[in-house]
Amino acid sequence: MQNNNVSLDALKGHLFEALEGIKNLSDPMASENEKMSLDQAKAIVGVSSQIIDIYKTQIEAVKVFASRDDQASTGTMLEAIGITSKETVKEIGY
């Protein structure tokens, strides 16, 4: 299964949905579909933490590449470590 919606904005959206789901636990007017168990929310936070760690690692890789004398082009570097795609690199003109 591939999810093409893999951005930090998407991650923030999921985390805020989880927060709303937890808040809805105490709302008697909320439907069961609007509620999220604490276990589900904890699982989402755990996975989110791992995703954030991946982004942090990628940022550190960019810093290392940027400090080298034989730098690849910025777009090539960002694509190689999975931060962006070839199509996005073309769009921004690296």
pTM of the model: 0.62
Q: What is the mean pLDDT of the chain?
A: 79
Q: What is the dihedral of CA 74, 80, 82, 88, to 10 degrees?
A: 50
**Cα gap 18→20, rounded to integer Å:** 5
| DSSP state letter for 14 | H
Structural domain boundaries in the chain: 8-92
Closest CA to 45 of 29, 28, 22: 22
**Cα gap 7→89, rounded to integer Å:** 16
Per residue in 77-88, pLDDT (tens digit) is: 777 766 666 676
In the block, tokens 């954030």 appear at 52
Per residue in 18-37, pLDDT (tens digit) is: 999 999 999 999 999 999 99
